[in-house]
Every structure is written in structure tokens, then in C-alpha cells.
Amino acid sequence: MINLVKNLSVYNRRTKSSVIRELLKLTNQPGIISLAGGLPAPDLFPVETMREVVNSVLDKYSAAALQYGATEGTPELKAELVKLLKETEGLDLKPENILITTASQQGLDLIGKTFIDASDPILVELPSYIGGLQAFKSYGAEMIGVKCDDDGLLLENLELKLQKLLEEEEHYKFIYVVPDFQNPSGVTMSQKRREQLIKMSEKYDVLIIEDSPYRQIRFEGKAPDMLYKLDKSSNVISVFTFSKIFVPGLRLGFMIGHEEIIKKLSKMKQSLDLCTSPFNQLIAAEFLKGGYLPSHIEKINASYKSKKDAMLNALQEYMPKVEGISWTKPEGGLFLWLRLPEHIDTEVLFYEAIKKQVAFVIGSAFYCDKTGNNTMRLNFSYPSEEQIDEGIKRLALVVKKFL
């Protein structure tokens, strides 16, 4: 075999395998209650509706459904998305503002491919979505972490970092945020912070990447405006996916932005996959046209709300009542964030938890500055309510041992 050290590209060497994927291998053992993954509940997938929709696509489009398609996406799906985003978010979009992607992970990779040169600084939340960090790092981005609280990004901290970069004559490329029910923390950025963030993007002439897979998974409370809606300077690119509100197996997502930006992103997509599966795009278009999405989202939200409440109740009941232990109380999404006293390292605690047959994701995996050792992400969408109760009970026993 060739010498891999000598022959691999910098790009390949720079890309680290995700910590989550490595840890998830341990969590798949039989008997383990996993609060670790980020999967939607498969029992909610609309299998019967899919059967009808797939047949209808084949009847309507026949062989054309199985042909290559345009890199930007099929017109049928783009037209449905224009309607959907008008109705749900009040956005006035043209098809040229949309790029269909092979789910949102491809959208994040495209952002990296389009904007990042090696050593370019980008600003990310502390903590942030690990798949985004991984995509940007592979293009050589220099990650600069910005502190967050339960209302999202701390803008004073962001401004300090932007000013420092300007003084050092470093050209920052973008600010990456997951503003709705963030993965991993479950936190939603408040309306005020969003308005301030948009002002800051104008003041510092910086692009904002709004990655929002969980926005529609809201159980309670009122949704703040999308950053894209608040932005009047075309400084925002939004990245969306059908993975959490429909099915991840279609690998379907989309990006919205100024049409000049969409053209640049689309050019980069050509070499990735020519086009996202036209068949899958027509399935999604037919699903939207048939009006199935709102009731499906309603069903998901009812189930996840009940699971979220089960997790909050279990935490309240079983977790030791000591200073330093707290958790977020999200109004939607798939995750909740547990903070333990500073001296506890959740990576050490993880192996103990595995022995007690319960798994979570260590918080430090989501911090670009390797902090967050005393935190963990807990998922409530995939396990059953009984598993959530038992899983938190087991986890609380392990935490007690570490206090």
C-alpha cells in the first residue's frame, strides 16, 4: 500500500473523525440506554404516506423522476419551498434564492468550500454543532469561540473578538450559529440578541451562517424571527434540512441566501455530487404539495414534548440537589444540556456511566477551545419515556458517585 502520511491530502489529514461517532460505537452495546444520539424517533416516520407519495411521483413523472437534475435543485421542490417559507416565516423568496442540498451537512461543507482558506478565522458558539466545526476545520478554519448563555450568543464577547481580529488585521469569514434549540445545548437565541447580532453583522461587515434544523420542532412559547428575516443587507445564509421534520434517510436539505451567493455555492456543489437526488426532491415536493407536513410536525412535536417533560421530571426527581448541577429547559428540539460542578470531567464519568448501562455525549466535544469538561448533552427524541426515566435514574447514581 502507498505511504498514507506522504500521500494523503492536507484536507484529509486535517479532518478528524467525530468524537461522537467514536463514542456512539460504545453506546450501541445491548442493554445500554442511549441518551447520546441525535436521531429522530423512527416510529414517527410517515411510512404509509411515503408509500403513497412515492407511487404518486412515479405515476406523475415516470422515468423523468429517475433522471439527473439541475445542480440548484428541481423547480417543483423550490416552488413548494417558496410557498412554505412565505406561509411559515413570512419570507419573500424567489427560486434563485434557494439551493437544494444533500441534507444540511452538505450545506455546511459547501459553506466551508466556498468561503474558507487555510487559517481563516471564523466565529462559533461555545458550545457549537460538532458536524459544523468538523466541516469548517477540514478547510483549515481557525475556530474562535464566543461565549453563550441561556439566551444564546453573548454579543459583548463577540464584539471583543471581532475588534481583536480587526486590530490584528485578520480577515474573519463568518459567524456560525444554531439559533433555534441549539445542538447541543437546546438553547434558543432571544429576539433581542438576534436583532443585535444583525446590527453587528452590518457594523463589522460579516456574514452570518444560520443553521436551523430544529426550528419547527417547537412545543411551547413563541418563535423569535429567523435571522434571515431580520437581515436587510443580504448578510445571512440559512441552512435547513428535512432530516428532523420529515425523514433523515432522504438526505435532503436546502440553503437560502442572496442569489449571487447561491450561484457561488451552487458552482461548488457541482463537483460534490452534480445534483441532489431528483427522485428524493420530487418525493419531498409531493409531500409538501399534499399538505402532509403540518400534521406530521404536529405529531412529532406532541411526542417529543412528552419525552422532554419526562426527562425534566426525571432530572428533578433523581439528580442530587447540590450547587453546580443545572440543566436547560428547552421549548423544543431534541436535546437538553446538563451542567455538573466544575471538578467533574464528564469524559471520565462517561466510562462509569457505560458500566451502569447509560450513555450521553460529553460536552467538551462541542467546544472548539476544549473547555466544557463538566457538561453533557442528553437526547430525548429517540429513547422511550420509560427508557428516559430509567436512563436518568442510572445517570444520577453515577453523578452522585462523582460529587
Chain residues in the site for ligand PLP (CB under 6 A): 38, 103-105, 129, 131, 178, 183, 211, 213, 241, 243, 248, 253
- What CA–CA distance (Å, rounded) separates 219 from 37? 20
Residue 104 or 281: the one with the smaller Cβ distance to ligand PLP is: 104
**What's the distance, CA 332 to chain centroid?**
13
Min dist CB 109 to ligand PLP, Å, is 10
Residue 215 or 339: the one with the smaller Cβ distance to ligand PLP is: 215
- The one-letter code for the residue type at 123 is L
Residue 213 or 257: the one with the smaller Cβ distance to ligand PLP is: 213
- What CA–CA distance (Å, rounded) separates 172 from 153? 17
- What CA–CA distance (Å, rounded) separates 240 from 251? 11
Min dist CB 107 to ligand PLP, Å, is 8
Min dist CB 297 to ligand PLP, Å, is 16
Residue 148 or 325: the one with the smaller Cβ distance to ligand PLP is: 148
Min dist CB 71 to ligand PLP, Å, is 18
Q: Which residue is nearest to ligand PLP (CB)?
A: 241
Min dist CB 104 to ligand PLP, Å, is 3
Cell numbers linked to 344:
467533574
Min dist CB 239 to ligand PLP, Å, is 7
Cell numbers linked to 358:
447509560
Peptide bond into 40 cis (omega under 30): no
Residue 278 or 333: the one with the smaller Cβ distance to ligand PLP is: 333
The backbone region for 102, taken as left when phi is positive above 0, alpha when psi lies in -120 to 50, beta otherwise, is: beta
Where are the strands (E) in 166-270, listed by range?
174-177, 207-211, 236-241, 253-256
Q: Which residues pair with 377 in a beta bridge?
A: 337, 361
Helix (H) or strand (E) holding 123: strand 121-126
Residue 111 or 230: the one with the smaller Cβ distance to ligand PLP is: 111
Q: How far is CA 172 from CA 25, 43, 147, 151, 207, in A?
A: 36, 43, 17, 24, 9
Min dist CB 6 to ligand PLP, Å, is 33
Min dist CB 122 to ligand PLP, Å, is 15
Helix (H) or strand (E) holding 4: helix 4-7
CA proximity to 135, closest of 25, 268, 267, 256: 268
- What CA–CA distance (Å, rounded) separates 122 from 337? 24
- What CA–CA distance (Å, rounded) separates 213 from 182? 9
Pairing of strands 98-101, 121-126: unpaired
Residue 127 or 391: the one with the smaller Cβ distance to ligand PLP is: 127
Neighbours of 171 (CB within 10 A): 11
Residue 243 or 266: the one with the smaller Cβ distance to ligand PLP is: 243
Min dist CB 18 to ligand PLP, Å, is 11
Q: How far is CA 42 from CA 263, 300, 338, 389, in A?
A: 35, 10, 25, 20
Residue 122 or 165: the one with the smaller Cβ distance to ligand PLP is: 122
